[in-house]
């Protein structure tokens, strides 16, 4: 079978097998990813091709045209001037991933046992973007891209206030509200006031920070607020330095001189395997679903984990695998995948980056499901699988891949994702059916002690994940004040609220019933 493409006015025809073999060994990220796509599936439906599939081929051809046109562009240097910070591969990925992949916001809700001073909070937020300069920047789409300090930063509204009769509804509206990834500031905060207590909503652009850094930012904000609250004297926080030393430390600590030598193309690409009811559609409206486990329930889970030599993450992943079986026609005996986020700070001696940033990778877990297996039996296989994965430096391939992303023309990468997002709007369900790619992001304990803003205490606090587009499905898990929160989001018109709610409920029940 031959592959035919048209680049400008040039028509090219070549054998499909030779084409894919050449791409597989390429050093270019675009080519290696494309080599993993299953073109056989496209040809299988060729004779009865739908209008949507014909549109797909047209858009795919555009990708090739744009790719070849800009392939020879070289990456330059960022401006050498005040207020400019370098962008790393993690930032680039989380910026461009919004094209067809999700909304990529980090969000949190904090319940406070009293009232905050809004003026002091606003001042603390403004000082926080001096302490972490990237939060006071915008993403400049240069070649290479870079962070640039906002010129009108003192006029930017980072913080807003609302008096609410129904605080929970106001918090929900905040979580569902959209963050403009280009024009809004990197961090937005809302103080929601009820008659007896305050709720603080925080929203951050995932292009500049991951979940762990988001946790660190919330702790930083509370520290700055407390210092302002304690004294009338002016307070100036020390500014963090944001460069590439964290990547250098990571590879150095692992004894890696040239990361490219360890690169395995396509190693972190997942395929949809799980049945899940979703529909083809387009929408910019997102919704969040939250489910909680209370302290007494966590105590039971903790005792069970210790008795089995398992971690909380092992238990959650086990429950996730088992709950996914109930979302559609069960598939047994075939490897089923769940992608797990990995905090790359685990490879740093102090487990900390020098500044707020993205520093997360991922690893694919794969486990065949067994009919009539009880929770403990599934758990034992998950524990064994995770121990094997941990021996191989999980997340390292992601780190290497994102390192390589810095060396590719940003215009090339942006063009690829923009074109891909157009085809994804028409095509995914044709190929995937009602199958999805689930992922797990476990942020663990958000704070070992209760967070305080001056004299008031945060009694409840949880982080919700970015909402990813179907067929993706991202579950976030985190714990604060002995309460575990499960959270997931979805795009309206693609997934039903009841189905996401049912999945979270099933995960909770698997944990509670399995850990008796």
pLDDT tens digits, residue range 35-51? 444 444 333 333 333 44
- Listed in sequence order, the residues at least 6 apart from 457 whose beta carbon sits closer than 8 Å to its beta carbon are 112, 113, 114, 450, 451
- CATH 3.30.559.10-classified regions of the chain: 84-230
Give me the CATH topology for the region 84-230: Chloramphenicol Acetyltransferase (3.30.559)
Q: Average pLDDT over the chain, rounded to whole?
A: 84
| pLDDT above 50: residue 70 | no
Q: How confident is the model at residue 69 (pLDDT cuts 50, 70, 90)?
A: very low
d(CA 469, CA 473): 7
Q: What is the mean pLDDT of residues 256-261?
A: 86
Using the 8-state DSSP alphabet, how is residue 153 labeled?
Answer: G
- Listed in sequence order, the residues at least 6 apart from 508 whose beta carbon sits closer than 8 Å to its beta carbon are 291, 293, 319, 486
Q: Which of 1-15, 116-130, 161-175, 366-380 has the lowest average pLDDT?
A: 1-15
Exposed/middle/buried for residue 24 (C-beta within 10 Å: 0-12, 13-18, 19+): middle
pLDDT at 419: 65
pLDDT tens digits, residue range 487-512? 999 998 888 999 999 999 999 999 99
pLDDT tens digits, residue range 147-164? 999 999 999 999 999 999
Q: Which residue has the tokens 């791409």?
A: 23
Q: How confident is the model at residue 444 (pLDDT cuts 50, 70, 90)?
A: very high
Above pLDDT 70, what percent of the chain? 80
- CATH 3.30.559.30-classified regions of the chain: 249-397+407-450+464-514
Q: At what angle do helices 118-131 and 211-230 cross, to 10 degrees?
A: 130
Above pLDDT 90, what percent of the chain? 58
Helices assigned H by DSSP within 338-494 = 375-390, 396-405, 410-426, 428-432
Exposed/middle/buried for residue 396 (C-beta within 10 Å: 0-12, 13-18, 19+): buried
- For strands 472-480 and 435-445, give the pairing: parallel
pLDDT at 53: 43
| Highest-confidence segment of 243-252, 269-278, 300-309, 386-395 | 300-309
The CA R_g of the chain, rounded to the nearest whole Å, is: 24
Give me the CATH topology for the region 249-397+407-450+464-514: Chloramphenicol Acetyltransferase (3.30.559)
Cβ proximity of 189 and 158 under 8 Å: yes
| pLDDT above 50: residue 290 | yes
Report the candidate in 158, 160, 147 with the shortest Cα–Cα distance to residue 184: 158
pLDDT at 49: 37
Tokens linked to 144 = 């290479």
Higher-confidence position of 435 and 36? 435
* Cα-Cα-Cα-Cα dihedral sign, residues 344, 348, 351, 353: negative
* Cα-Cα-Cα-Cα dihedral sign, residues 46, 50, 51, 57: negative
Using the 8-state DSSP alphabet, how is residue 379 labeled?
Answer: H
pLDDT at 337: 93
d(CA 32, CA 28): 6
| pLDDT above 70: residue 420 | no
Judge if the upstream peptide bond of residue 144 is cis by omega within 30 degrees of 0: yes
Q: Which residues pair with 342 in a beta bridge?
A: 361
pLDDT tens digits, residue range 161-189? 999 999 999 999 999 998 888 889 999 99
Three-state secondary-structure class, residue 364:
strand
Q: How far is CA 348 from CA 67, 387, 443, in A?
A: 36, 20, 17
């Amino acid at each position: 079978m031959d592959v035919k493409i048209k680049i400008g006015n040039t028509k090219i025809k070549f054998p499909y097998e030779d084409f894919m073999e050449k791409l597989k060994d390429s050093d270019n990220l675009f080519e290696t990813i494309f080599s993993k796509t299953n073109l056989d599936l496209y040809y299988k439906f060729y004779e009865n091709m739908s209008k949507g599939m014909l549109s797909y081929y047209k858009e795919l051809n555009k990708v090739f045209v744009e790719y070849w046109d800009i392939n020879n562009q070289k990456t330059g240097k960022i401006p050498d001037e005040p207020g400019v910070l370098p962008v790393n591969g993690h930032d680039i990925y989380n910026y461009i991933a919004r094209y067809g992949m999700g909304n990529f916001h980090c969000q949190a809700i904090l319940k406070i046992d009293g009232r905050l001073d809004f003026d002091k909070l606003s001042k603390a937020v403004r000082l926080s973007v001096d302490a972490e300069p990237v939060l006071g920047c915008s993403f400049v789409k240069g070649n290479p891209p870079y962070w640039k300090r906002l010129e009108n930063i003192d006029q930017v509204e980072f913080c807003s206030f609302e008096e609410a009769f129904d605080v929970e509804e106001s918090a929900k509206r905040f979580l569902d509200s959209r963050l403009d990834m280009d024009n809004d500031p990197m961090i937005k905060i809302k103080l929601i006031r009820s008659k007896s207590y305050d709720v603080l909503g925080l929203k951050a652009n995932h292009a500049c920070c991951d979940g762990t850094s988001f946790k660190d930012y919330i702790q930083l904000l509370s520290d700055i607020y407390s210092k302002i609250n304690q004294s009338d004297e002016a307070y100036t926080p020390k500014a963090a330095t944001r460069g590439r030393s964290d990547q250098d430390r990571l590879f150095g600590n692992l004894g890696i001189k040239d990361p490219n030598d360890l690169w395995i193309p396509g190693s972190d690409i997942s395929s949809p395997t799980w049945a899940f009811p979703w529909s083809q559609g387009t929408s910019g409206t997102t919704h969040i679903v939250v489910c909680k486990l209370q302290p007494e329930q966590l105590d039971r889970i903790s005792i069970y984990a210790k008795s089995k030599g398992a971690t909380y993450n092992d238990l959650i992943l086990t429950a996730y695998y088992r709950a996914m079986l109930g979302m559609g026609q069960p598939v047994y005996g075939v490897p089923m995948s769940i992608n797990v986020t990995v905090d790359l700070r685990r490879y740093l001696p102090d487990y900390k980056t020098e500044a707020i940033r993205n520093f997360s990778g991922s690893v694919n877990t794969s486990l065949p499901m067994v009919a009539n297996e009880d929770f403990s039996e599934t758990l034992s296989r998950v524990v064994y699988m995770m121990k094997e994965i941990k021996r191989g430096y999980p997340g390292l391939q992601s780190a290497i891949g994102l390192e390589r992303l810095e060396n590719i023309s940003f215009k090339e990468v942006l063009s690829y994702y923009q074109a891909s997002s157009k085809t994804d709007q028409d095509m995914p369900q044709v190929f995937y059916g009602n199958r999805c790619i689930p992922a797990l992001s476990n942020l663990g304990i958000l704070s070992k002690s209760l967070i305080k803003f001056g004299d008031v205490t945060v009694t409840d606090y949880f982080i919700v994940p970015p909402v990813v587009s179907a067929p993706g499905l991202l579950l976030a898990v985190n714990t604060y004040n002995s309460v575990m929160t499960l959270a997931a989001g979805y795009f309206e018109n693609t997934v039903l609220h009841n189905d996401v709610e049912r999945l979270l409920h099933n995960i909770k029940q698997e944990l509670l019933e399995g850990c008796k």
